[in-house]
Every structure is written in C-alpha cells, then in structure tokens.
A and B are shown apart, each in its own frame.
Chain A
C-alpha cells in the first residue's frame, strides 16, 4: 500500500517534470513577451534591455533549469503581465476552477448514472432512445455555442441567472468559495451545466454499456435465480460491479474537465485557472503558463492516484490477499 502510493508519487514527479519541459519548449514559439510588456513608444533598445534582464536571451535549457530550480524551492516566479507572484495568482484562481469542475462532475454523476441504469434496463424503450439521441445532440454542439446560448436564454431572455463571474463568494483563508451563497450557486449553474453536458453523456453511456454487460453475468443470473428483489439486483449487485470502469473513465474525465474548463471559463468570464491561462497565452506570460501546466499535471497525477485508491476501496480482490 505505502509502496504503491510512493511508487505513484515518484512517477508523478517524472510526469510533472516532463510537462514542465514540454511547456517550456513551446513558450518560445507562442510569441514575444517583450512586445506585449512594452508600449508602442518604447524604443527597441529599451525592449532589448528588458529582454536581457528577463533572461529571455539565455539558452532554452538555462531558462528551463532556472524555472524548475526555483519551482522546486517553491518559488513560482512573477507574471510578466501583472508582475504578481504566480503562486499567489494561481491560489486565487484554483478554487474557482475546482469548484466548477467538481459541480460539473457531480451533475454528470447524479444525472448520468441513473439515466445510464434506466437506459440499460430498458434498452428498447422509447424514453431510452429519446435520452440517447438528445444527449448525443448535446455533445455534438460545440461547448462555446452551448455556453453562449445558455447565457442568452437564462441570463438575458429570462433574466433568471447571472451571465458571468462567480457571484457572491466567501473567503476561507486563501480559498475563495462560491458554494456558500445563493448568489454563488446561481452563478455556478450555467457554467457547470455547460461543462457537465459532455461528462453527463459520457457517464450515462458508460454506465449503460457496463450495466448491460454485468446484467448478463452468471452472478446476476444466479442472484435472479435466488429471487432477490429487483432493486437490490440492479443497484447493489449490478451497478456496484460497473463502478470500476466507470470510475476509471470519470477519473480521466475529471482531468479533462479541468483542462477543458478553459473554454467554459472564457465564455462565462469564470475567474479560474483556465481563464488565467488564456489571458497568459494572449499576453505570452511565459512563467504563468509554465506553472499552470505543472499544476494541471499535478492534478492529473493526483486524480490517477485517487482513482487507484478507489479501486482498492471498491474491489476486495485488489486488496492484499489473506490466505484463503
């Protein structure tokens, strides 16, 4: 167990370093930060001096080494755009993204799993077909179109929900949460929906497929032969056994959610990491992009770890075996 976790953590460091390297390799190509940092009237000489001072003329590897070296001692450097310390910037943005992602995920689970079970148990029903098709349409519209559409429907036309931002937030230390005010929740609904649609469809179809398979296994047939109540059959026995693959995919997807929140956040002006990242790209804010990527990588690693631990929790077979 301890060994397992340790192994994962070691791998995770590798993954993060690799990502940092990739990220860094790309920065030089995104554009020239200098022309973004200086005004139109700045002379080329002044620009050149700034470039020198920022160490942008050093060889790529030197820059990378400096970047990682500092990061290892917890110094994430400063943003070219706002001159702020990046660690601070990210801390102020991470909660927004995490809350958005989590709620989106919850929506997708709370709706997706029952829907999946239903459609699995009545594969030929009209309702099933309706659900399947409509969700398909849902995932076939580009996220940004859905987002804008929702904004104008619920924000402008009906005026029920806010169109941007996080609404009322509550501060807990560095964690700024919008989960504790009605206002915050109202602001959360649309972005979470937009972000959740894809997950929802995926979860539903996954649960459905797995359910249909499990329902044909011997132990379900045996349980049926023992005349167990149907709900116990469906939910305790069948659904339980679909969870392993479902969790795997959900885990992967949560990473995807965080990465993909970029679009949603930019549409809803949601002050999360994704938005920060877009701004940084537009501004060639190299250090911010670098740190962002490393953080994302870290989340992925973390999620993978959690998923594996969940396996152990769910499936006794994976736990260390006692002698039979």
Chain B
C-alpha cells in the first residue's frame, strides 16, 4: 500500500533512477552535519547512526528507493497461523558476513536478544514481541503479544550481527556507556564494510565484494566527513573537495543550483513541524495579563492560533517554498495518512480575532513560546515569523529560542505555554505519532506528548489500531483519530520539512524521505 501513496514523495528519486547506471569505478566523498556516534547498530537509535549503518549491516527487510518494504536478509515473510499471532521470516541462504562467517537464524535470534536487552536503545521496537523462535537455520518466528500487521515495516532498521563475531570480541551487549569492540568495528552482511574509523574526523568505507545482492553503485571507496558548520560544508562542496553534502541551508539551494557542475536534490522529509500547547496547565506560566487560567485549554483559542498563522508565506519566505503545508501529524502519503479530510485551516486574521473574542480574549494575551534554534530547518526563524503573525491578532508570544541540548528537558519540565516540535514517524505509519504525541502520557505511551493532551477515545482506539489486521478498518480508526485531533486543534501542524541535498553534477544518488543516505545507489561519472 505504501508503494502508490508514496509516489509524490519519491518523484525525484524515480527520475534519477533512469540515470543511475553503473559507470566506471570512482571514489566518493560525502559530508553531513553530524558524525554517527557509534558503529553499534543497537546502541543508539538516532537517524545519523541507523542511516549510516544501513550501508554496512542489513535487516531482515529493507526499504527500497520508494520506501516500500522489500526482502533483504529475509526472502519472504508471512503472518503466523494456528492461534499464534506474529510473523514468520524465511531467511536468505548463502549470505556471508564480511569476515566470512555464515548468516543463520541463530544470528537473528542473537541480534533480537541483543537489541531488546536493557542496554539497547532500540528495544522499544520489540515491545510488541512476546518471544522469538528459531524454526530451522533459515526460518525464524517472531511471536507478538497481539496481531501486528505492520511489524515487518517496524523492524526495517533492525540490523543483524553475527553471534560468533560478537561473542569472540566481547560485544554481546550494546555499548551503552563504555565502548566495546562493536563501537568502532563492524561485521555486517551489507554492501559496504568499514575501512577506517576516525570518530568525528573521517570514516572510510570500502565495497563488500562478496555481497549477496547485485551492485548498482560504482563506488570503490567512500569517505565520510562530518562538517558541522553549514557554510563550511557548502564551501567544501563548491571547492570540489567533497562530492556530496546533506543537508544544505534552504537559502543556498538556488545559488548551488545556479552553479555549473552542481545540482540540488530537494524532496520532502517525513518530518512534520507543528506547534503544541500546555493542555494540562491550569494557568499560563509566562503571561502578564491572564493569570489563574490557561486560554490554550480552550479549543477555540487553539483554532484561532491555527488561523492566525499564514503558513504559505512562512513557507515562501522562510522555507523558500521548499516545504509543503501539513494538516496532520504525519505528511500526506505515508501509510495511515487520513485522506478523509486533508483540509487545513485557512489563514484568516479576522476569523482568528473573532474566535478569540468569542472565547473571551478579545484583546488577546501574552504567553511563552518555546523554540529550538538548532534542531529543525530554520526553526528559530519560523518561530519568529509565527510570533509576529500571532502578535497581529493580539497573541503576544514571548519567544525563547534555545539549543536543542536543553530544549526537551525544558519542555518536560513544563517551561512553556506553547512550543514548536517536529516529528518523523520511525515506522512511517500514522500509528507512530499517535502513540508518542496523542496518547495520554503514562510513562510508556505519549512519551513526547509534553502538553499532556488527553482524549479517552484516542486512548481507546490506539491498541485497536496497533492490532487491527484489516487495513480498511484500521484506516477508519486512524481517520477518526485524525478528525478528533483536527477538531480539537490539539496540535497546529505547519508543514512537512524539506530535504535538500547538494552534489556535483557527476554524482547520482537516490533521496529517500527518511533522509537515509544509501551508498548502494550512488554512481559517480
């Protein structure tokens, strides 16, 4: 189902497909803002790490150019039958690790144990899993507590280690605080192997010559350098020292495009940027006028906020028209996105003022607006723009923009009245944001629902959604949740973040909405 719906996201990718024909061998140097902090696939669940390691390790399933789930170390999979809920995976035979060891079901079991251990940062993926059973060397069952239609999708980044190798090098458990062998060494089944690891400075990859799949890339050596400073990175590209960089600042896209020998690849990420409110606060923390009550508890006020924001102009000026306005907590096109109602509140200052008046705030009020200034693209600028728009309907935001390093703590501590947040669903499915953002916080669920938004109906629907196998029924429930969130204006979705890659003309890559950079699709003329 993902296939057709993701088309608009991956238009660019499709176009490039045609040119992606293997040419003569080439070395490839690329850069990104952050260095993958570890080479251990289970130690940290962060995009830079998972993205990078997907070039070295492989999972049972993987995502294709169009994000669709396709066979990887598992050749096929089907739901378990006979009373048991769960999935059976048939593993690929004859796959060898880069050190020559054979890949078997036992490694999957080991990797499962490792990845679901306490020291692992990805164990939440396996929350639904009751147990894992090795049927034979190349068959393995994942028994889930409840029916779980999307389980295979949810473990696309569950990367497999070799038990023997891990044991031999004392890397049985993920390195959480003290490094172990797996922190700087790898032994995957993937298309590339680690040639040199110099944390924070340079990481070099070499093709894995006896990879099971057919190569589409022509990279003979790939060097990755983290470059924190955007301008520096761009300079490095323009001076020809690197072949590819991601991301580049929006405002520079045009310039790079204009230059001979360079091109820009811009698509959409799966991250939606939105405003959240302190639903569970009985009083605003940073207001001068309104004391003792919290206007944002009133849906009309939240709706007014949505109407007061001219997202199109924000997009045009701040985001250089590269973003796409969003109406839900996940971008249109992802699985479970509610097609039932894709409208978003129109920009209408008058209406906003009216709504405020009706709610009893005719002459507005002031409040504290929290924003990160180094997390999302132009996040601070967006907040400033939004603040000035809100001011025009009498909502005087006191903007605090801070580095992400302390941001989430501030939010957890409730030091805001309204805040900016971006969400990218790890499973690329509508259930993900509901689980983390809409469910009433209880320690396990709603862990990122800082405002403590709570709706009984949604809480009731979530488990059903998670276990519903019939996609039509499931979608109906998702639509209902989406509708509730929209009427209550629980959050104010702004736009889907753009994804801007810049590279030399000679380079061909495939851009996926999950912002993973896959070397196996890179060709250099």
Contact = CB atoms under 8 A, between A and B. Distances in A.
8 contacts: A30-B405, A35-B408, A42-B121, A148-B231, A163-B241, A164-B232, A269-B228, A271-B201
A89 interface: yes
Interface string A43-66: 111100110011000000000000
Interface in A281-308: 281-284
B228 to A, nearest CB: 6
Nearest to A287: B177
B510 interface: no
B45 A40 contact: yes
A49 B118 contact: yes
B124 A279 contact: no
A211 interface: no
A31 B179 contact: no
B361 to A, nearest CB: 34
A163 B237 CA distance: 9
A44 B408 contact: no
Contact of A82 (B122, B124, B200): B200
B239 interface: yes
B175 A83 contact: yes
Interface residues of B, number: 51
B94 interface: no
- Listed residue (B124, B227, B240, B405) with the most chain A CB atoms within 10 angstroms of its CB: B405
Contacts of B233: 164, 269
A168 to B, nearest CB: 12
Nearest to B448: A40
Contacts of B118: 46, 49
Contact of B231 (A31, A32, A35, A151): A151
Interface in B205-233: 225-229, 231-233
Given A39-B46, A82-B183, A148-B231, A283 B405 contact: yes
B436 interface: yes
Interface stretch (A1-9, A111-119, A154-162): A154-162
A38 B405 CA distance: 12
Contacts of A156: 235, 238-239
B92 interface: no
A284 B405 contact: yes
Interface in B90-130: 118, 121-125
A267 B183 contact: no
A174 B413 CA distance: 44
Interface string B30-66: 0000010110000111100000000000000000000
A36 B405 contact: yes
Nearest to B176: A50
A257 interface: no
A191 B521 CA distance: 36
Nearest to B402: A31
Contact of A83 (B177, B374, B443): B177
Contacts of B83: none
Contacts of A267: 229, 232
A53 B232 contact: no
A31 B409 contact: yes
B239 A163 contact: yes
B403 interface: yes
Interface of A: 30-32, 35-46, 49-50, 53-54, 78, 80-85, 89, 92, 148, 151-152, 155-156, 159, 162-165, 266-269, 271, 275-276, 278-279, 281-284
B45 A42 contact: yes
Given A35-B409, A39-B45, A155-B235, A266 B177 contact: no
Given A30-B405, A36-B405, A37-B44, A44 B443 contact: yes
A221 B409 CA distance: 69
B227 to A, nearest CB: 5
Residue with the highest number of chain A CB atoms closer than 10 Å, among B122, B176, B240: B176
Contact of B43 (A83, A151, A281): A83
B406 interface: yes
B45 A89 contact: no
Interface in B360-404: 374, 403
Contacts of B184: 84
A278 B180 CA distance: 25
B178 interface: yes
Contacts of A45: 443-444
A128 B176 CA distance: 60
A82 B179 contact: yes
A40 B436 CA distance: 9
A45 B447 CA distance: 10
A275 B226 CA distance: 11
Contacts of A155: 235-236, 239
A42 B408 CA distance: 14
Contacts of B345: none
A81 B199 CA distance: 10
A148 B234 CA distance: 11
Given A43-B124, A269-B229, A281-B405, A164 B235 contact: yes
A3 to B, nearest CB: 43
B236 A163 contact: yes
Contacts of A276: 200
Nearest to A49: B118
A276 B199 CA distance: 10
Nearest to A80: B177
Most chain A CB within 10 A, of B124, B125, B233, B426, is at B124
A181 to B, nearest CB: 16
A207 to B, nearest CB: 34
A287 B201 CA distance: 20
A83 B179 contact: yes
The 5 closest A-B pairs by CB, nearest first: A39-B45, A83-B179, A31-B405, A31-B406, A41-B124
A151 B409 contact: no
Contacts of B199: 82, 84, 89
